[in-house]
Amino acid sequence: MSHINDTITALATPPGQGAIGIIRVSGPETISIVNELFKGKNLLEVASHTIHLGTIRNDQNEIIDEVLVSIFKGPHSYTKEDVIEISSHGSQYILQKVLSLLVTKGARLAKPGEFTQKAFLNGRFDLAQAEAVADLIASENASMQQTAMKQMRGGFSNEIKTLREQLVHFASMIELELDFAEEDVEFADRQGLIDLINKIQILIQSLIASFEYGNVIKNGVPTVIVGKPNAGKSTLLNALLNEEKAIVSDVAGTTRDFIEDQIYLDGIAFRFIDTAGIRETDDEVEIIGVRRTLEKMKQAGLVIYLFDLVNESIESIEEQLKGLLSSDVPFIIVGNKMDQADTFLQDRLIKENAVFISAKEKNNLEALKERLKSFIDIPTQSNVVVTNARHLQSLQQTDDALNRVIEGINMQMSNDLVAQDIRSALFHLGEITGEVTTDDLLENIFSKFCIGK
């Protein structure tokens, strides 16, 4: 009867096809405002967490669209206020029309991130979790999505909360002593206090260290392929990227998301930079010299240094190695053209732990990829990864304040000075989760969200 395969029991819509347009409404007047436009059940009388079919009509009683209305009564909603989601057929015209009707009935257009900001202000989650919502929306790969999801579900916040509790305990011991200052009693054993601070600092420092990994998850590793002209740089680049393109294109509909010049290994993006130069096969090392090539490489997080095992002289290899080994850029030495390699040159590079490939024949590229992956240190101390520069700064300020606390105790400074530094440490930890905020900070964070989130 038709070409439709009978075994298909569920149809899913690909992303971005605009099949559904959802308008979210939140606030104390939500239900009464939507009820004025909605013809169907009386929304003032329905239970929370129910869905209703009906129509949206203008004042002339013309039907704008047939919609589904989902109702979430506060505090059991995203913002903890009354929330309604109107699922329409999603044309821009319909969405604009429904929105303007809502506005005529008293709603106002939401600012970017305002729903999440309300959720934060109403205590649904803390600031770090709210920020994770933005990260989640922006996530482009499995690692970004998983880290953001963990943070949104409170993994990072719990870690900060534990640290805060320990510090509060510490502060209370010091402040207790302050109350009895005249009597010169010592409630807190000094060594015990220092041990506690050290323990807290180890945790904070492991969080700080995880930022490097977090940054890699978020922004990828800028990678550059360097080598003499004709070493095979563009052949290698194309071999790596074409393979990636093939993998990505396998999933229908995702080709447009493919980002030129990057590959994913274990969810980490290796972004090949300066590829225009490579593609023009410019005479990099020849023209600008080994030293300046090395300076240029410093912009990269990782360098793939390619040697031509067929055409290069041992002198040329030695000269380049000398420069490379004395640099502080992380690098992988690769011997290319293994299909025709000179064994003498190969033996020289074995000593440098080189990876041997044939870019043209696509041989041993897997070994190169394994080596690329081995440059990523996955933190083991804590499974929480800091991805946000604002959090990093607060953690560093907390750590600095704790250093001053230890210094104060060691130098037998008065308790009120020590207590002041503890309070400063608590203040900076509180900035992360939003116990301490300013309007500017909130504005800055939430303005980066998209409207409707």
- Binding residues for ligand GDP, rule: CB under 6 A, are 227, 229-235, 278, 281, 336-337, 339-340, 358-361
Q: What minimum distance in Å lies between the beta carbon of 276 and ligand GDP?
A: 12
Helix extents (H) in 180-297: 190-219, 233-250, 275-279, 284-297
Task: Give the three-class secondary structure for 83.
Answer: strand
Q: Which is nearer to ligand GDP, 120 or 307 (CB)?
A: 307
As measured in angstroms, the least distance from the Cβ of 338 to ligand GDP is: 7
Name residues whose C-beta falls within 8 Å of residue 314's C-beta, 6 or more positions apart in sequence: 344, 345, 348
Q: How far is the CB of 307 from ligand GDP (least distance, A)?
A: 11
131 or 284, CB closer to ligand GDP?
A: 284
Residue type, 124: R
Q: Which is nearer to ligand GDP, 336 or 394 (CB)?
A: 336
- Write the burial class of residue 141 (CB in 10 Å: 0-12 exposed, 13-18 middle, 19+ buried): middle
C-alpha to C-alpha distances, 275 to 164, 234, 387, nearest whole angstrom: 47, 8, 27
Q: How far is CA 109 from CA 26, 105, 106, 184, in A?
A: 11, 12, 10, 61
Order of strands, edge to edge, in the sheet holding 221-227? 262-265, 268-272, 221-227, 302-308, 331-336, 355-356
Shortest distance in whole angstroms from residue 379 CB to ligand GDP: 36
Residue 87 or 311 having the CB closest to ligand GDP: 311
Task: Please state the closest distance from residue 329 (CB atom) to ligand GDP, in A.
Answer: 19
Pick the closer one to ligand GDP by CB: 27 or 232: 232
Up-side HSE of residue 163: CA atoms within 13 Å toward CB?
A: 30
Cβ at position 253, least distance to ligand GDP in Å: 32
**Residue with smaller CB distance to ligand GDP, 36 or 282:** 282
Query: Is there a contact between 271 and 223 (Cβ–Cβ < 8 Å)?
Result: yes
